[in-house]
Each structure stands twice: as C-alpha cells, then as structure tokens.
C-alpha cells in the first residue's frame, strides 16, 4: 500500500481516531499489532517470503532471549555474523536471468529485512550490555514490524519504542496544534513523494523533449538533467516518506528519529552524511565505525589516524552495499568513502597548519563556505550517477554523449556550451542561496534556539493548504480531470 494513497491516509485517520479513545495500553497494543499485520499483508508477499521473515524473527528472538539470560561476547559475534550472512545471502542471491527457475525466496520479495537485521543487531548489543529495560516477544515483534519503520526506516531505538508501547505516558497528542502539525507533515510528505518526486522523475525520463535545436543536443542535456535532478528526486521521495511515517508515528504516540536535516546546505561531505539518512549513518557510526575504531585503538595506537581514515571510507562502502550487491552501489560507496576521507584529511591538515582558532576563522569566511557548499552538492550529484545503476548502462550513456560530441561540428559544440552552462550556474546559485537561508544556517550553529511552535490556527491553516494540494493531485490520479493544475508532467 502506497503511503500516498487514499487508502493509507484513510487507514491512518481511522487508526489515530481509535487510538485516541482507547484508554488502556492492552487495547492499543492489539490495535497496532493488527495494523502492522495488515500493512505487511498489503504487499502480498509469497508464502516462502513470509516463512523466511518469520524464521528470522523467531531465530533472532531466540538469540536475544539467550543473551538476556547469559550475556556473552561470543554469542553477540555469532548472532551478528548469522544475521549478516542471512542478509548477504538474500541480497546476493536471486533468480538466474538465463533460467526460468524462481528461487524459493528472493530479495525482491522481502519487505524491510535490511532494517530488521540492523534493528536486531542494535537490540542484541544493547541486551548484552544490559541497556534494555524490558524485553518481551510481543514488543520485539511489533518493534520489528511497526508499519511506520518497516519498509524504509528510520531506525529507531528499542527502548524508545518500548516506552510508548508499554503505555507509560498518554500516547495521544497533547493538543490540537501538535495534532494539526503532525497531519500537516503527513500531507507535506505525500506532496513531496507523489507530486514533486514524480515530476522530477518525469523530467528526467523525458529530458530529450526539453532539448530542441535552440537549446542543445538531447545527448548533452539529458545526462546533465539527470545529474542534477536524480539526487533531488531521491531526496524528495525518501524525505517525503520519512515525513509521512514520522507524522503517523507521532499520532500514535511514538517518536522516531529524523532522517534528513537540510543536507544540501552542508559545507562538506562529513557534515552532509551527518544530515542524510541520519538514522542509518548514525547506526553505522556507532555499531561499525566506533566499534572497529575502539578495537584498533586498544591494539595499534601508532597507526590510529591512518586506521581511522580507512575505517571511515569502509563505512561508506558498507553504506553503498547495504542498498544492494551491484557494481553501481559498490562504486557509489567507494566514491562517497573517498570523498569523506579526503574531506577529513583536508580538515586535519588545516587544523595542524592554522591551529584551531585559525581553522575556525577560515571556516567562518563567507566565500569559503559558499564554495564548499556548492562543491559538496556537486560531488554528491556525481556520486549519485552510480547509485542504483549498472556500470555498463552508465558507460553506454557516456558513449552516447561522446558519439554526439564527435558527430557535432566545432561551431555547434561551442554554441551549445553557454546554454548548457546555464543549468550548472543556476543549480550553484540556488544551492548557495539555500545554504544562506536562516533555517539552514541555524543547523550549523551550535545551540541555535529552536523556532517556537505555531499556534493552533496557523497549524490548522497550514494543514488545510497541504491537504488541498494533495487532494487535487489524488483527484487527478483517480479521474484525470485536473491535468492543467497538478498533472503538468503528463503533458511531456
């Protein structure tokens, strides 16, 4: 079930209304359990996939129960190794394209197993360190299968989920302003996913229709459009999904972590990855980078800095492979890792040469910050060329551009260059202006005061506006009657 569909939004409305009138935690637990079961059933997985998911959940629960009774580092190592082996086997396996034999269970059929594995590892480590307050099978299963974190995160902590699940504080929103704000965020996320991300995808798919003789050859413009628009499409699609699920969870009394914090305003790649898919990068930093860094620090302190660079790059490679075992994801991780390592090395070199005070003055210079933000944005766009794309396909696109270039006259190429340069120039100016906005600058300011919460009237007006825009789109999708309003991308 799509989170932008009328069925999903109506289900959330009904679920939140019933949740608000239930008084005891038991009724809320049963209701949320039924909602979670219905959500995963809406994907219509095969019986073998359901069995594989159920087998993993039961096996992981057995390991957690044993760890709770007898904490052991070997048990943690074995549990982590087994869970990762299970995940790798699913991601690396699959149907042979030259065979008609369907595998018993394939990665394409699974729903949320990557997040389940990472959640299990987090709970196992915390249980072994006696940081989990209460561990029960019902809480663990619903923690893993919660519909607002099942398919694409964010990765929330077990203790936070258990506190709301057990019904400690009142799970209802404390007042109308927060309730309106949560619904407004749900509608904003749906607009991001259904309208903005869809329009960007259509612009990428039909980029050749933007390339008339008076603009530039299509073979030049289409890759350039994809270079800039594909990262934006991913951002609006994923951040929109996160907005919807944070809003849904908030209506039910659950607080899940943010996943994005204005990443395109980041001044370097280290800061960028602290703002992009934050729950996953935080998980990798805590359970991969810091764990490995402590291990190296206890045994090989003489080469600690070099080891830190290697571990930092390796973490980003794992981030890429977490999405899938393809050459595109691997190169995406390698490119991202090299960029982060180079950023960290440059920062360390500046600190050593200028000192801390001089380094701070250097970073505070507006011109330096502006160039850094624009360069960071373009590097991320470059790395996204490899995301979810097979290298032969990317090489084919590059050959098409080179062939068009070789067949064009020198005068034609020189005439097209100024027009093609308009897109990078416009993108740079937009990113620079965005990075200088007060809200984006406040993210990088330590201790910046948070904006006051809007009153009920303003929250209601904002929610109504977003609901109206989304309603127009959904009507257009259902009846195809409002194409001039929000269906403009279908005219391509």
Of 108-122, 353-367, 454-468, which one has max mean pLDDT?
A: 353-367
Task: Quote the pLDDT of residue 218.
Answer: 55
What does each C-alpha distance from 4 to 171, 175, 434, 441, 470 come to in angstroms? 24, 25, 27, 31, 9
| 197 Cβ contact list (under 8 Å, min separation 6) | 233, 236, 237, 240
What does each C-alpha distance from 55 to 51, 88, 144 come to in angstroms? 6, 16, 13
Task: Quote the pLDDT of residue 297.
Answer: 87
Question: Of 342, 424, 315, 338, which Cα lies nearest the Cα of 386?
Answer: 338
Task: Quote the pLDDT of residue 209.
Answer: 59
What are the tokens at 126? 């915390």
Residue ranges per structural domain of the chain: 25-166, 179-443
What are the tokens at 174? 């404390």
Mean pLDDT (whole number) for 56-78: 92
In the numeric block, the tokens 């960029």 are attached to: 339
Q: What is the DSSP string of 442-470?
A: HHTSTTPPPPPPPPHHHHHHHHHHHHHHH
Question: Full-prediction pTM beyond 0.95?
Answer: no
Least confident of 97-101, 240-244, 271-275, 348-352: 97-101
Task: Quote the pLDDT of residue 404.
Answer: 67
Residues, the chain: 492
Task: Quote the pLDDT of residue 485.
Answer: 41
Residue 405 pLDDT > 70, yes or no? Answer: no
Task: Quote the pLDDT of residue 447.
Answer: 43
Mean pLDDT (whole number) for 341-345: 95
Rounded-to-integer distance, Cα 19 and Cα 25, Å: 10
Residue 311 pLDDT > 90, yes or no? Answer: yes
Q: What is the DSSP string of 16-50?
A: HHHHHH--SHHHHHHHHHHHHHHHHHTT---HHHH
| 22 Cβ contact list (under 8 Å, min separation 6) | 28, 31
Residue 310 pLDDT > 50, yes or no? Answer: yes
Task: Quote the pLDDT of residue 446.
Answer: 47
Q: What is the pLDDT of residues 15-61, one digit of tens each?
A: 888 888 887 788 888 888 999 888 887 775 667 777 888 889 999 99
Rounded-to-integer distance, Cα 102 and Cα 124, Å: 33
Whole-number average pLDDT of the chain: 81
Least confident of 106-115, 212-221, 292-301, 371-380: 212-221
Question: Of 79, 159, 154, 88, which Cα lies nearest the Cα of 115?
Answer: 154
């Amino acid at each position: 079930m799509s989170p932008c569909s009328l069925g999903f939004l109506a289900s959330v409305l009904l679920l939140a209304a019933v949740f608000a009138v239930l008084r005891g935690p038991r009724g809320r637990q049963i209701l949320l359990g039924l909602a979670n079961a219905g959500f995963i059933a809406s994907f219509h997985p095969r019986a073998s996939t359901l069995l594989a998911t159920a087998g993993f959940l039961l096996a992981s629960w057995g390991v957690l129960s044993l760890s709770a009774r007898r904490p052991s580092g070997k048990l943690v190592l074995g549990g982590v190794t087994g869970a990762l082996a299970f995940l790798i086997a699913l991601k690396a396996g699959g149907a042979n394209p030259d065979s008609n034999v369907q595998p018993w269970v394939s990665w394409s059929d699974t729903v949320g197993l990557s997040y389940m594995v990472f959640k299990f590892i987090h709970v196992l480590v915390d249980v072994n360190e006696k940081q989990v307050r209460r561990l029960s099978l019902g809480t663990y299963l619903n923690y893993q299968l919660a519909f607002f974190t099942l398919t694409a995160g964010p990765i929330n902590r077990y203790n936070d989920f258990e506190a709301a699940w057990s019904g400690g504080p009142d799970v209802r929103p404390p007042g109308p302003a927060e309730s309106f704000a949560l619904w407004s965020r749900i509608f904003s996320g749906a607009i991001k996913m259904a309208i903005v991300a869809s329009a960007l995808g259509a612009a990428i798919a039909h980029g050749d229709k933007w390339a008339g003789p008076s603009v530039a050859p299509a073979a030049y413009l289409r890759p350039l459009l994809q270079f800039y628009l594909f990262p934006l499409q991913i951002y609006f699609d994923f951040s929109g999904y996160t907005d919807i699920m944070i809003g849904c969870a908030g209506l039910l009394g659950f607080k899940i972590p943010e996943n994005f914090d204005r990443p395109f305003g980041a001044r370097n790649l280290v800061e960028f990855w602290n703002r992009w898919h934050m729950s996953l990068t935080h998980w990798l930093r805590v359970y991969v980078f810091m764990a490995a860094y402590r291990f190296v620090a206890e045994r090989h302190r003489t080469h600690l800095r070099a080891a830190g660079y290697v571990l930092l790059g390796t973490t980003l490679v794992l981030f890429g492979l977490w999405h899938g075992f393809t050459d595109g994801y691997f190169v995406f991780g390698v490119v991202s890792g090299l960029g982060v390592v180079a950023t960290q090395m440059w920062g360390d070199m500046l600190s050593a040469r200028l000192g801390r005070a001089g380094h701070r003055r250097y970073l505070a210079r507006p011109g330096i910050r502006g160039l850094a933000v624009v360069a960071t944005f373009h590097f991320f766009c470059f790395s996204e060329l490899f995301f979810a794309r097979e290298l032969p396909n990317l090489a084919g696109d590059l050959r098409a551009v080179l062939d068009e270039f070789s067949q064009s006259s020198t005068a034609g190429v020189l005439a097209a260059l100024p027009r093609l340069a308009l897109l990078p120039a416009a993108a740079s100016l937009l990113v620079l202006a965005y990075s200088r906005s007060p809200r984006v600058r406040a993210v990088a300011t330590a201790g910046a005061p948070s904006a006051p919460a809007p009153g009920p009237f303003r929250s209601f007006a904002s929610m109504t506006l977003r609901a109206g825009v989304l309603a127009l789109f959904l009507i257009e999708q259902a009846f195809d009657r409002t194409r001039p309003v929000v269906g403009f991308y279908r005219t391509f």
